[in-house]
Amino acid sequence: MVTNAGQEILEKLWIDTVEGENAFVELKKLGRESTVNRLAKSEHVVISDNRVKLTPKGNREAKKVIRRHRLAERLLHDVLDVGVDDMESAACKFEHIISEDVEESICTLLGHPRECPHGKPIPPIRCCKEGKEIAEKIVTSLSKLRKGQGGKIVYILTKNHKNLQKLLAMGILPGVPVEVIQTYPSYVFQAGQTQIAVDNEIANDIFVRFV
């Protein structure tokens, strides 16, 4: 099993060699020589003349780390509205603890994003190749549902704090089942035992897991 420090080395190598123009990275540039040596022993990297490059095994592991990191950035940015200054350090922590099942769930929740908030590619996996349309059927905004359709609220994505406070005060929370009763001229939906009317802007901000 690759340690957190080892994953960070693999991530650096991926960025510099797979995405960059370098065939290798100087050992001194990576630092943590003992960690690099352990990666060489586990056949994740090759060291030659104080130059380090990924092996096929290391490439696969690095790709996973890069993917988890950039998915975490999307989650923090798109759903949790975390600022850019705090996003990087938080994503670094997330990348080491996200399991494969959680990773797929996050990817589906976000609609299988292709890029991180910085515009860097997110390596796709099986769940992405099954098609983004499937994801859009699973999680979508309330405004895209037709009369009679429903699901459970997954999250509320808005920068309008007044709208957010209004929704929370009405009990519009993740996990609450909803059903659309009317879509025009305003959106009316059943949330638990309460009927609520909202405009298109607010309906766009409420995301539900479609059922």
- For the packed helices 56-74 and 4-13, what is the interaxial angle rounded to 10 degrees? 100
Report which secondary-structure segment, H or E, holds 196: strand 194-198
- Which phi and psi angles does 19 have, rounded to 5°? -90, -25
Report the alpha-carbon distance of residue 105 to residue 113 in Å, rounded: 12
Predicted pLDDT of residue 180: 94
Predicted pLDDT of residue 131: 53
Report the alpha-carbon distance of residue 92 to residue 149 in Å, rounded: 38
Alpha carbon distance, N-terminus to C-terminus of the chain: 38
Report the alpha-carbon distance of residue 110 to residue 132 in Å, rounded: 10
Report which secondary-structure segment, H or E, holds 128: helix 126-129
pTM > 0.75: yes or no: no
> In the chain, helix, strand, coil percent, each to 5?
50, 20, 30
Report residue 89 CA to chain centroid gap. Answer: 15
Give 160's contacts (C-beta < 8 A, 6+ positions apart).
Answer: 201, 205
Question: What domains can you pick out in the chain, each with its CATH number?
Answer: 1-130 (1.10.10.10), 137-210 (2.30.30.90)
Report which secondary-structure segment, H or E, holds 27: helix 27-30
Each residue's pLDDT expressed in tens, for the chain with a length of 211 residues = 889 999 999 999 999 999 988 899 999 999 889 999 999 999 999 999 999 999 999 999 999 999 999 999 988 887 777 877 788 888 888 888 888 888 888 887 777 888 888 889 999 887 777 655 555 557 788 998 999 998 888 778 777 778 888 888 888 887 889 999 999 989 999 988 889 999 988 998 888 887 6
- Which phi and psi angles does 51 have, rounded to 5°? -115, 140
Q: How many helices (H) and strands (E) does the chain have?
A: 10, 9
Residue type, 123: P
Predicted pLDDT of residue 137: 56
Question: Which among 130, 71, 126, 132 is positioned nearest to 97, based on CA atoms?
Answer: 71
Predicted pLDDT of residue 11: 94
Predicted pLDDT of residue 153: 86
**Residue 44 neighbours by CB distance under 10 Å:** 24
